[in-house]
Chains A and B, each alone.
Chain A
Amino acid sequence: MASLTKKENSPYWFCCFTAPDGTRTKRSTKQTDKDKALLVCREYEKAASDAKKLVLTENQAKKVISDIKEKVLPRVEVVQKNIVERPPYTSPLLNSKIPTGPIEEKWNKHKFDLKLVNPANKRKYEVIVVGSGLAGASAAASLAELGYNVNCFCYQDSPRRAHSIAAQGGINAAKNYQNDGDSVYRLFYDTVKGGDYRSREANVYRLAQVSVNIIDQCAAQGVPFAREYGGLLANRSFGGAQVSRTFYARGQTGQQLLLGAYSALSRQIGLGKVKMHTRTELLDVVLVDGQAKGIVVRNMVTGEISRHSAHAVVLATGGYGNVFYLSTNAMGCNVTATHRAYKRGAAFANPCYTQIHPTCIPVSGDHQSKLTLMSESLRNDGRVWVPKSPSISEKIRNGELQPSNVPEAERDYYLERKYPSFGNLVPRDVASRNSKEVCDEGRGVVSSGLGVYLDFSDSINRMGEAAVRERYGNLFDMYEKITGSNAYQNPMTIYPAVHYTMGGLWVDYNLMSNVPGLFAIGEANFSDHGANRLGASALMQGLADGYFVLPYTIGEYLAESGWGDCPDIESSEFLDAEKAVRNRINKLLSIKGKRTPTSFHRELGKIMWENCGMSRNESGLKSAISKLSELREEFWGNLNVPGEKESLNQSLELAGRVSDFLEFGQLMCRDALQREESCGGHFREEHSTPEGEAKRDDENFAFVGAWEHKGDGNEPVLHKEALEYEEVKMTQRSYK
C-alpha cells in the first residue's frame, strides 16, 4: 500500500511504496500539492506492481515512472541541476545523504541545513568517544569545547600513545603557500584520482576544503612545524602529487599533531568536560531500539567489566592492518570495536582495501613482531633500484658483492624507467607492486630475496650529507638501530608492508553508520580514500573528521533524538551485552588447549598475506576462506590462555583480539573475492593489463561494497552504494 509522507527540509511530498524487488522505497513526487502528489504516488505504485508481475521489466517500469514525472511536472523542476539521483542498485540500507548543489557549495549548504543544539542544551548530552588518536582526541576535545559531556576511552595507558603518533612524513593541506598552483580543487582531484575512483566525491571535496583549517588549528596549538628562515611554514612534496603541499615537523609529524590534539584533550579533561578512561578496552556496542546508546568495556588492569550509556557513540578506533600479524601498526591495534559494531548491525565497507606501504624495513626472521616503516618522504631524495640481472642479485644476497660495486649500467631504476613523469614518487600501490614484481623475478637484494634498494648516494653527492641529515636524520638513525647498517654509506633496503586500511565502517555524509547514533571517524570509517590512500592524507582525514566535521554533523542526530535521560545501564540490552562479553572471556580462559594466542595470530597473518595481500586471485581467496574456518575451529578448541580474568592479563587481551581478527579476515577475503576488478590497493591477478597494471571495471564495480552481518554461521549480505563522478572524469590512472 502506498502512502505519502513529508520530509523536513523538503517542500515536496514523498511516496512510500513497495519496489519491484520487495523493498520499501521512498521517492519524491516532486509535488507540493497533496492531491497531485497522491496521483503521482498511485502511478508509482502501479508501475512497480506491474514490474513485479513481470508485465513490465524493471527498467521499463523505471521509464514509466520517469515519464509520469515528465508529464506532471513543469519542465524547470525536472531539469533542476545537480539533483543527486541514486542509481537503481544503491541499497536502501546505505543512504549517503550527500547534499544537493554544486560540489563547492555542498558542505557550506549542509552546515547551514544541519540542525543545531542550543548551547544551553549541549550540556544535557552525553557522548562516548572510543579511541584517542588524531580523530578521537580531536573529536573528544572539540565536542567538549562545544559543551557536550564526553567520556573518552583508550586501551593505551595514556591518550598520547595512540598509533597516530607514529606517522612520520607529514600532512597535506591545500594552502598553496608555495605558489605552485595548488588549490582545494587540485587536492580534491588528486585524492579522488589517487583513490582510483572508489571514494565519494562529496566527502573528498569537503576533506580538501577543511584541510586548510587544520594547519591553522595546529599552528595555533603550538605544533612546531618546519619553518623557513622568514618564519613561514615550509612544505615538502609527497607521492601522488605534483605540487608541494605537505606540512611536516621533522620526521615526527604524527607525533606533533597528536600531541597537539592531546593537549586540547588534556585541557578539557582538566576542565572536567571529558572523562578519560585509559587502559580500557571496548568489548561490545549496545543498541537500544536499534540505536547505538552505549558500550561495554573491560578495565585492563583490574579486569572489571562495566557498562556505559550515552546519547551517541563515536568509534575512532583505527584500522585493521594487524589482521596480517606483521604490519606497521602498533602491537595493540585491533579490529574489535568496528567488528563488534559490525556484528551489531553496522555495515562494514570495502574491507578488502588495504594499503601496502612500499618503504618498510624488510623482515629479518621468524621472531619478527612488527614491521617498521620508513617515511615515504624518503622517496623524494632516494632512488629505488635492483640489479638488472638476477645473477648479480644472487651474489649480493650471498654477500659476495657490495651494492656500491654494482656499476651504473647494471642497475635498474625501475620506477624511473617505467614511470618517467612521477619516477620514484608514484603512488604507494604502484610502488609496492613493482617491488614485488622485481623480487619475484629473482632480483631482490636481501637474504630472504624480498628487498630492494633505496639509494641516497646521488642526493648526498648533490646536496651534501648534512642536508640529507637535516631532512631525514632521525629516519637514518632508526634504520641503523634496527638493521645495524649505515644508510649514508650503504643504500637502504626496503620492502612493502601492510600499513593502512582504507576500508572501515560504512558512514553517510554525516559520518554516521547505518546504525543511528553510531559514528565512525578517522581510519575506522571508509569514506575518503577510496581504494588507495595518498601519503600525508591519513593525518589530514583524522583531524578533519575530529575537529571540523563530526562536531557539526553529530548535532543533527542529537537534536533529532533529544536529550532525555540516557538509557538505563540496568536495562536488559545492557545486561545482555555484558553477559555475552563475560561468556566470551570465560570461554577463552576455559579452553586450556595447547596453542598460544600469538601462534594463531601468526598463522592467520600468513594466510592473509599470502592470499589477500599485495595480489589476490580467486582460488587463493577461496582457499583462505576455508582455511580460516578451520583455524577458527582450532582456536576455539585448542587455545591456551593462562591466568585470571580479574587481573592484568595480556594473553587474554590478545586472545580476544585474535578471535575477532579470525572472523574479520574471512570478511576481507569475501570482499576481495566479490570485487572482480583491480583498483588501488586491491589487485586481482585475473584483472590486469598486458603490462601488469591494475585494470578497473567501472561499469560493474564503481560502488562501495558494504557488508551486513546476518548472524553467526550465516553468510553476510553485500549492499552496494553506487559511486557517481560528476566532477572528475573516471580514467585509467597513469603515472607514466
Chain B
Amino acid sequence: MGKLLNLKLRVWRQDNAEDSGRFEEYDAKGVDTDMSFLEMLDVVNEDLLEDGKEPIAFDSDCREGICGTCSMVINGTPHGGQKGTTACQLHMRQFSDGMTITIEPWRASAFPVQRDLVVNRSAFDRIQQSGGFISVRSGSVPDANATPVAKEDADLAMDAAQCIGCGACVAACKNASAMLFVAAKLSHLSLVPQGQPERERRALAMVQKMDEEGFGSCTVTGSCEAVCPKEISLDFIARMNREYGMALIRKGTV
C-alpha cells in the first residue's frame, strides 16, 4: 500500500456531441499512490454513482497500454506527460498531495466529442481503409522465409508498427495534424519488402484521405513525438514526406 493523496479534479463534462460542455469539479480523497490514474477515476465514479449522479464517461479497455483506447488530456498533456506512457499506465505516484488535476478529452475537429472524455476516432480507421495495408488474400502467399528481411529493416519497421492509434499525436498538435500516425503506418509498410508493390499508391491514398478527414498540416513542432506513448520518432515523418514526394514524382499528381 502506498501513500494517500487528496486531490481536486476539474473534469470536462459534455452530454453529447451537440452539447457545449463545461468543467465540473470533484474531490478525490484518500487516493492510494499505487492506483493507476484510471482506477482513481473509477473510485470517483463509484462515489458519484452512490450519490445518484452520472459517472464521468471515459474510454479504456486493456489498461495495459497497448489497445490505444484510453484518451484524455491530463493537465494539458495527452496521457499526462510521463514519457512513453498511456493514461491507463500512469500511476498516482506521479502526483503530489493537494494538486488540482484538469482532465479533458482529445481536442481536434477530426475527433468529435461523443460524451465527456469520449471522442470519435473513426477518421483513423478510414485512413487505414484508404490504403494502410498490403493487398494479399488469405492463402495466396509464399513461404515466410522465402523473402528474407534484413534485421535492421525489420527492427525499424517494428519501431514504426508499434503505433497504437490512440490519437495523442493529434491531440498534442496545435494544427491537429495526423502526420505521425500516418507516417508510422507508411514507414512500417515501406520498410518491408512485402510492401513495395503498392508503395506509391499507398502513400498517395493515405495522405489524400488524411487531408479529407480534416487533420491539419505538419509544421514539425515535435509535440507529437513528445507525447507518443510508444515514442514513435519524428524521423518517420521525414520518411513519409520522402515517400509522398517520390510517389508524386513517379505517379504524377494526386
Residues of A participating in the B interface, judged by any CB pair closer than 8 Å: 138, 141-142, 145, 156-163, 165-166, 175, 177, 213, 215-222, 224-233, 249-250, 252, 255-256, 259, 262-264, 266-267, 269-270, 276, 278, 301, 330-332, 364-365, 367-370, 372-373, 447, 477-478, 481-482, 484, 547-548, 551, 594, 596, 598-599, 640, 642-643, 647-648, 650-651
Contact = CB atoms under 8 A, between A and B. Distances in A.
B42 A598 contact: yes
| B contact face: mostly helix, strand, loop, or mixed | loop
A538 B162 CA distance: 21
A367 B188 contact: no
Contact of B133 (A250, A255, A266, A594): A266
Contacts of B203: none
A216 B144 contact: yes
A217 B136 contact: yes
A216 B149 contact: no
Contact of B114 (A158, A230, A301): A301
Contacts of A599: 46
Contact of B49 (A216, A227, A228, A596): A596
B142 to A, nearest CB: 7
A230 B148 contact: yes
Given A227-B150, A650-B57, A221 B194 contact: yes
A612 B142 CA distance: 46
Which one of A163, A216, A477 has the highest number of Cβ atoms from chain B below 10 Å of its Cβ?
A216
A159 B124 CA distance: 11
A517 B233 CA distance: 48
Which one of A225, A364, A447 has the highest number of Cβ atoms from chain B below 10 Å of its Cβ?
A364
B165 A648 contact: no
Interface of B: 1-2, 15-16, 32, 34-36, 38-40, 42-43, 46, 49-50, 52-55, 57, 59-69, 82, 84-85, 89-91, 93, 114-115, 118, 120-122, 124-125, 128-139, 141-145, 147-151, 154-155, 157-158, 161-162, 164-165, 188-189, 191-192, 194-195
A218 B157 CA distance: 14
A666 to B, nearest CB: 26
B64 A364 contact: no
Contacts of B145: 175, 177, 232-233
B67 A369 contact: no
Contacts of B129: 266-267, 269-270
B139 A213 contact: yes
A331 B89 contact: no
Contacts of B130: 270
21 contacts: A145-B137, A158-B165, A163-B62, A166-B62, A166-B66, A216-B141, A220-B136, A222-B192, A224-B161, A227-B149, A231-B148, A256-B158, A301-B115, A369-B63, A482-B91, A484-B91, A547-B138, A594-B50, A598-B42, A647-B16, A648-B114
Given A269-B125, A331-B63, A369-B63, 18 more contacts: A142-B138, A158-B165, A163-B61, A221-B194, A227-B150, A232-B145, A263-B128, A266-B129, A266-B133, A267-B133, A331-B62, A367-B32, A367-B40, A481-B91, A548-B139, A598-B46, A648-B115, A648-B118
A276 B129 CA distance: 11
- Which 8 A/B pairs are nearest by Cβ-Cβ distance? A231-B148, A263-B133, A220-B141, A270-B129, A219-B144, A224-B158, A648-B115, A224-B157
Contacts of B132: 263, 266
A163 to B, nearest CB: 6
A165 B165 CA distance: 12
Which one of B121, B148, B154, B165 has the highest number of Cβ atoms from chain A below 10 Å of its Cβ?
B154
Contacts of A301: 114-115, 120
A704 to B, nearest CB: 29
